[in-house]
Structure formats: C-alpha cells, structure tokens
Amino acid sequence: MKEENSKLVERFLKYVSIWTTSDDTTGRTPSTERQLDLARYLRDELMHLGLEDVSLDENGYVMATLPSNDKRIPTIGFIAHMDTAPDASGEHVKARIVRAFDGKDIVLNEAENIVLEAKAYPEILDYQGQDIIVTDGTTLLGADDKAGVAAIVSAMEYLIQHPEIKHGKIRVGFTPDEEIGEGPDHFDVAKFGADFAYTIDGGAIGELEYENFNAAKAKITFHGVNVHPGYGYKKMKNSQLIANRFMYLLPPDETPAHTQAYEGFFHLIGMQGSVEETVLNYIIRDHDREHFEARKACIEEMVAILNREYGEGTVEAEIKDQYYNMLEIMRDHEQVIDLAKEAMKAVGVTPKVQPIRGGTDGARLSFMNLPCPNIFTGGMNFHSRFEYLPIPSMEKAMEVVIQIAEMAK
C-alpha cells in the first residue's frame, strides 16, 4: 500500500490547509461559510474518484455511494466531520512531517519558542521511529477530524482500484459543525440509507468507542444593579460577584482537571461580565444518565439559592441537552461492535475499548436509528496547537475501513 499511503498523506495535508473552524454563535448551518470550501472540494473529489450519488446539500452535508460489487445485504456507512474546533485557530495551518521521530522534544516554532515536549506529552514516545505530522505551533493541526475524512476517502479510492475485494453498498458522509455539537442537526438518516455506520473520529490507534458522555450546555445569566461606586451602599448589586458566588457553590473537584474515565464534570468554558450583567457558559458531562440529570438539577438548585439570597430574578439558567450516551442504543447492536474489533485485529491493530470523554456525531446518530460507534484516526492532542498525527496510525485507520467493508456480511 505504499503508493496509497502516500496519497493518504497528501490528501490529509490538502484538507488541513482549508480553514473550516466552526462557530456556535452564528445560528446557521453550516455555522461558518468556510466549511463549504472543504465540502465543495470533497464533492468534486468524490465525483472524480468515481463514486455515485454524490451530493452536497444546502446545509453543507456531503454524501456519496460506492456501489456494491457483491450480493451482500448490509449497507455500511462511514462518517467524519469537516469542521475543526474553535478552541484553537484553524486558519493558515502550516503542517510538516517529522521523519523518523527520535523521541526528543520537537521544536514546532523556533522564533516563538514553541516546543512539543515529551515530558508534557509522554504518549508521543510510543511513536518513536515513526513519521509524525505536526504544526508550526500557532494553530491546531485538524487531524480531528480531517484524518478521518482522509482515511475514508482513501479507503474508497482503494476499493475502487481493487475490485477483487468484494463488498456491499457503502455510503460515506461528511458533516459540518460536529465540534459545536450540531453535526447531526440536519443529517438525513433516511437519505443516507445505511443499516449501520462508523464515525472515524477517535484518537490513538486502536480506539473503539461506543460509550460517550451525556451532554448539556448551560448559560447562567446574573443581573446586577449599577450605581456610582461612591454611593453604592445598599444599592449596588454587582453581578460579577454573584457569578463568583455561583462558581464557589459548585463542587470544586468536579472539573475536567480533576476527573477521568467515567467521572463527570462541570466545565466553565466562557465568561463575560460587568456590574450590571454577567454570563457564565458551562458544559455539563456525565456517562451515567441519573448522575447527568442530577448535575443539571444541581445547577438549578444553585440558581434557586442565589435568587433567595439576592432576590428573585437575579439569576437565570438556560440548560439545553446536546447528546446522550450511545451505549443505550449499542447494547442492542453488538454485532456492529464485533465487526469493528475483528477488522482491527485483521490488520494487526489491538482494539482498545474505552469510553469517550466527549461526543461524536455517532452518539446522536445512534439515537436517530443509525447505530454508529467510533473508530480511531490516530491523532493526538486534539483541539491544541500541540496536536500531532503519527502517519502509520492514520494508515491503519484507512486499512480498518477497507477491512470492515470486506468483512461485513
């Protein structure tokens, strides 16, 4: 597969050069017009490769078909998202390949003294001797999820070029706005027409995930009263101080920095404030549905406490569920999970089953009658300027897609 792997890397480097950061403030789908730049590119590429039923709809969803060359019943789907996270810049990505990584710190940007240190990210030592793609330290890389997009497209190209590999009908789909929790909002499951699917959107090689967080977002608004500070006695009500009191009331050890594995958290992701009004934006996460509901109730109780203390209407909470744990659905589709495991083993990858401390498009799609576990891409340190991608891991992701297509019956 040497030639195919070279195309895979070339394809990935092209994708990350296209700016596709999503934005949860616009209220549109796709949330940013720039995502359509990649969507149009993929539409044209899939048509050029020879896939059928290639479409790009008004919301930025790309779908295509690789027809069956065998009399197999299941229609399999492979899905990845085109957007990158707003957590770090995705504009003007300058990717480069570190050949035969020697285990030493990687200087990403000498001028700005940005260094990918092995002591800070010890997992990178697992990839000594491998070629690794990194950034110049000023942006994220975009392996989340352009490595998944590249793996799927390259797998489809390989299957077209190797008709001796028998497979059923395959549907591919590329979505916008996954990073802001809106990827499946306009995903047409009926049009996609797959019996089951896989998102190629995981991290380290071998990851296979069919459990994820239950997720909600909360906007907490604090209303104050502003007067001249020299005359504020018993008149001023500083919304910022009330917001600080709210933060103090939440459990201090239930944050992302203090939790792991199946432990949930409250995560403050943004704050804007003045004396008159302060807004805190949280995300709420927990694998257990009862604990998840309890976390939302905790927010409401903190709001009630502060309203009793500062006056009714001082604090308001808007809580919106985002997605749920796909395990509730996947318990009834163990054969889909087993197929992924066997495909990994067939290409020499040890499956590493673990819960996602996050979510994928597949979480919501599973609740939309499309069972959809998540498979690795190989990328590491997602959403960060220290993101990197071991090339052999992405190659294995492509091989797993091909193997699933061949093994599914």
Of 145, 178, 179, 182, the active-site residue reads 178
Of 83, 387, 395, 399, the active-site residue reads 83
Residue closest to 211 by CA, chosen among 292, 325, 107 = 325
- Determine the average pLDDT of the residues in 20-35: 96
Cβ-proximal residues to 29 (8 Å cutoff; 6+ apart), any chain:
59, 60, 176, 177, 182, 185, 186
CA 46/CA 55 separation, integer angstroms: 10
CA 370/CA 192 separation, integer angstroms: 10
Tokens in use for 178? 């996954």
Which CATH architecture best describes the domain 2-212+325-407? 3-Layer(aba) Sandwich (3.40)
**Quick check: is 342 catalytic?**
no
**Quick check: is 178 catalytic?**
yes
- Determine the average pLDDT of the residues in 253-268: 96
Residues in the chain: 409
Q: What is the pLDDT of residues 333-357, one digit of tens each?
A: 999 999 999 999 999 999 999 898 8
The whole-number pLDDT of residue 348 equals: 98
Burial annotation 161-185 (CB, 10 A radius, 16+ → b, else e): eeeeeebbbbbbbbbbbbbbbbbbe
Band of the pLDDT at 358, cuts 50, 70, 90?
Answer: confident
Percent of residues, the chain, with pLDDT higher than 70:
99
What average pLDDT does the chain have? 96
For the chain, the structural domain boundaries read: 2-212+325-407, 214-323
Band of the pLDDT at 55, cuts 50, 70, 90?
Answer: very high
Is there a shared CATH topology between the 2-212+325-407 domain and the 214-323 domain?
Answer: no
Tokens in use for 233? 């006695």
Q: What is 214-323's CATH number, 3.90.480.20, 3.30.70.360, 3.30.450.20, 3.40.50.720?
A: 3.30.70.360
CA 20/CA 82 separation, integer angstroms: 7
Reply yes or no on whether the pLDDT at 3 is more than 70. no
Phi-psi region of 185 (alpha: psi -120 to 50; beta: other; left: phi over 0): alpha
